[in-house]
Amino acid sequence: MKKNNLTLYLLLAPVLLWLILLIVLPHIDLFISSFKFENDEGIMVWSLNNYLAFFEDEIYWLTFLKTAFYSIAVTALAFAITFPVAFYLSKVVSLKYSGFMTLLLLIPIWVGELVTIYGWMILLSDNGVINHFLIYIGIIDTPINMLYTDFSMTIGLVYMSMLFMIIPVMSALDSLDDNLIEAASDLGASKWMIFKQIIIPYAMPGIASGSIIVFMLIIGDYVAPNILGGKSSLWFTEQIYNEFLATFNWNEGAAFGFMLLFLSSAIIWLALKLSGQKLERVGS
Amino acid sequence: MDYILEVKALKKVFPEFTAVHKIDFFVEEGGFFSILGPSGCGKTTLLRMIAGFEEETQGDIIINSKSMKNVPPEKRPVNIVFQSLALFPMMNVEKNVAFGLQRLKLSKDEINSRVNDMLKRVGLLGYEKKNISELSGGQKQRVALARSLVLKPSILLLDEPLSALDRKLREYMKVELKVLQKELGTTFIYITHDQSEALVMSDKIAVMNKGRFEQIDTPKNLYRNPKTAFVAGFVGENNPFDIQSYENNILTMKQGWSIVKKDLQIKPTKLFMRPEAFIINPSDDIENINRIEVTIKTVLFDGSNTKLAVNVNGTTDEIKVSLPQNAQFEDLCEGDAIILAVAYDDVKCYEE
């Protein structure tokens, strides 16, 4: 018995060390330092000033609002674009091909986020592929400015997040009995009714977990807003980055980090409440 | 005669095989019509064509004198109860039953009263707010029935709905389904591979094999006078034997023993005798019967359904014989030599 316990602890050790040293302790440290503030005499004191700064300076909370709004919009867009694909792959295509086609969806992940983003830059820049094509077929005379705007940022974010939406939705749809759709149609429901009353409610746990993953990924993303959105992107993670690395105000940065964690968790909690989902069911 | 359903030269060809070969049949209004056949005989495809989920390759389906060509499932006056029941798991009992009614743009009060009536009828009053996952197998069955019947369809199609239930419940639901059908007067078309379900419930049964109907008849006729060897073998228990030759009114089996069957117009290849057609140790004065000398191999005791398995003397051919209900032959045991008698009429022969 004792020997078994030792084996168990040895097996758990790497994971526990990882969790405690790299996740729990840094969080505690940052949480403490987020309440520290350097007063006029240059002495560190306990204070709520770091958090108050978020509300007092409107650039901060406006940036957060924009980030939250775009994250929700990107989540919604990712759902709207991927749901038909998920439905097609799990219900329409024969089993023989659906595995292969799902594998194809993974390819952008193999390439990595940075390379995908550079790919989008080639497409969207002023002398990029899309502008070239539009000028070539004569729709426009001068290039449209697409890169370094909210538009290019949104495209990049949606593109990156689609996969994280499609997998949970597909797995929810996989277990949907085709007979349910047929039964609804047999009982007189139109295609739209079947979609609204049978398919969506059935896939809801998958949609919710996909949305949570995507929302969290997007609201905490740094690379795509920074590169594709350019200077005007004003993403909240960039504010945190600035506090840490531009102004070296680690206390402020820590406070902003925790604001992001609390506020995004609150948004998810609210969304789950509004859609009547339970976290336990979404997680399973 | 009014037919609620007419199926004319219906054919369904899939890329790999033909599921339904030209089938013709009619169903009378208010009847309980069963389609009985082994799995893979095409009965489900036939049902799905009537419901509108599969398109026929050829032929026509006419319901209430209207052709159903190009009519989608949601517009057909038929409803289906699936083998998997296909209840909506995210809705409670009441919402499942009301689902179809809500498409009809009825008032809330009317929907409620019709849902209530139907739940009362199937004995589920008080279960309105229960989730589907909280119900037992039999209750789910009833919700599925109520959900379809509440729409008052011209025809209710049932695709082996009892197959998921345990034996006791199945026996009970059989009777209940038949009573419900008689009460409502709705035409039922019932698909099953279980001959006892079909025999107990149906007014008429079509026996289906390899995409064709072998015989359409009342349960009694189907049992007493099967038209083909397949029907004889599939419906009810039977003792089949391969026939070697037929000369001078004498049938000789492959293993050499023979019995009398008079005036056959066909070249018989298969012979069937029901287990209950035999008389054990008949008195000498009965005429027009075959007498077969046999030896008891085993006694298969099963209460009122007790049978003897016997060997025809000098062969390995086995015959199953039902014992009479009285305890007259209770002392028969393994190894006893007896004589079986079977009337000429009870020997059914077929040409294949």
Closest Cα in chain A to B151: A187
Of B198, B233, B268, which marks where a domain is finished? B233
Nearest to B136 by CA among B174, B171, B87, B183: B87
In the prediction, which pLDDT does A108 show? 80
Residue A29 sits at the chain B interface (C-beta within 8 Å): no
Of B182, B207, B233, which marks where a domain is finished? B233
- Decide if B74 and A180 are in contact by the 8 Å CB cutoff: no
Q: Which amino acid is at A277?
A: Q
In the prediction, which pLDDT does B285 show? 84
Q: How many CB atoms lie within 10 A of CB A192?
A: 8
Work out the minimum CA distance from A202 to partner chain B, whole angstroms: 7
In the prediction, which pLDDT does B200 show? 92
- Decide if B72 and A185 are in contact by the 8 Å CB cutoff: yes
For chain B, the residues whose C-beta falls within 8 A of a C-beta of chain A are 51-53, 72-75, 78-80, 82, 84, 86, 88-90, 99-100, 103-104, 147-148, 151
In the prediction, which pLDDT does B156 show? 96
List CB contacts (< 8 A) between B99 and chain A: 184, 187, 189, 197
CATH code at position B274: 2.40.50.140
Work out the minimum CA distance from B87 to partner chain A, whole angstroms: 7
* Average pLDDT over chain A, rounded to an integer: 90
pLDDT above 60 (res A258): yes
How large a percentage of chain A has pLDDT more than 90?
67
Place A2 in a pLDDT band, splitting at 50, 70 and 90.
Answer: low
Q: What is the ipTM, given to two decimal places?
A: 0.82
List CB contacts (< 8 A) between B82 and chain A: 179, 182-183
Give every CB contact of residue B131 below 8 A, 6+ residues apart in sequence.
B89, B92, B93
- Decide if A180 and B88 are in contact by the 8 Å CB cutoff: yes
Place A3 in a pLDDT band, splitting at 50, 70 and 90.
Answer: low
- Decide if A180 and B90 are in contact by the 8 Å CB cutoff: no
Which of the pair, A103 or A283, is modelled with greater confidence? Answer: A103
Q: Which residues of chain B, if any, have pLDDT below 70?
A: 1
Q: Which two tokens stand for residue A75?
A: 């989540």
List CB contacts (< 8 A) between A183 and chain B: 80, 82, 86, 88
Average pLDDT over residues A68-76: 96
Kindly calculate the radius of gyration of chain B based on its CA atoms and give it in whole angstroms.
25
Residues B222 and B244 in one domain: no
pLDDT tens track for B269-292: 999 999 999 999 988 888 888 999
In the prediction, which pLDDT does A1 show? 53
Place A283 in a pLDDT band, splitting at 50, 70 and 90.
Answer: low
Q: What is the H or E stretch that residue A101 is in? A: helix A95-111
The DSSP 8-state label assigned to residue B334 in this structure reads T
pLDDT tens track for A180-216: 999 999 999 999 999 999 999 999 999 999 999 999 9
Residue A187 sits at the chain B interface (C-beta within 8 Å): yes
Q: How many CB atoms lie within 10 A of CB A177?
A: 15
Among A residues 190-229, those touching chain B with beta carbons less than 8 Å apart: 190, 193, 197-198, 201-202, 204
Nearest to B150 by CA among B107, B196, B96, B194: B96
Partner residue facing B73 (CB), from A177, A185, A198: A185
Partner residue facing B74 (CB), from A190, A197, A202: A190
List CB contacts (< 8 A) between A179 and chain B: 82, 84, 86
Which of the pair, A280 or B275, is modelled with greater confidence? Answer: B275
CATH architecture, range A34-283: Orthogonal Bundle (1.10)
The answer to whether the beta carbons of residues A133 and A127 sit under 8 Å apart is: no
In the prediction, which pLDDT does B152 show? 92
Partner residue facing A187 (CB), from B53, B84, B151: B151
Give every CB contact of residue B273 below 8 A, 6+ residues apart in sequence.
B238, B239, B241, B319, B342, B346, B347, B348
Residues B163 and B275 in one domain: no
- Decide if B73 and A190 are in contact by the 8 Å CB cutoff: no
- Decide if B99 and A179 are in contact by the 8 Å CB cutoff: no
Residues B257 and B128 in one domain: no
pLDDT above 70 (res A284): no
In the prediction, which pLDDT does A42 show? 82
SS3 assignment, position B202: coil
Q: Which amino acid is at B44?
A: T
Partner residue facing A187 (CB), from B52, B53, B103: B103
Nearest to B82 by CA among B14, B140, B154: B140
Place A234 in a pLDDT band, splitting at 50, 70 and 90.
Answer: confident
Of B215, B233, B251, which marks where a domain is finished? B233
Q: Which domain holds residue B292?
A: 239-350
pTM: 0.81
Q: Where are the beta strands (DSSP E) in chain A?
A: 36-38, 44-46
Residues B178 and B66 in one domain: yes
Domain count, chain B: 2
Q: In whole angstroms, how far apart are CA A176 and each of A166, B86, B142, B151, B161?
A: 15, 10, 22, 25, 19
CATH code at position B190: 3.40.50.300
Range list of H helices, chain B = 43-51, 93-102, 108-121, 137-149, 167-184, 195-201, 219-224, 229-234
Quote the crossing angle between the two packed helices A58-87 and A200-219, to the nearest 10°.
140
How large a percentage of chain A has pLDDT more than 70?
98
Residues B68 and B83 in one domain: yes
Work out the minimum CA distance from A139 to partner chain B, whole angstroms: 44
SS3 assignment, position A147: coil
SS3 assignment, position B43: helix
Give the mutation candidate from B45, B71, B74 for the A interface (greatest A CB count, under 10 A).
B74
- Decide if B148 and A193 are in contact by the 8 Å CB cutoff: no
Distance of CA B271 to the CA centre of its chain: 22
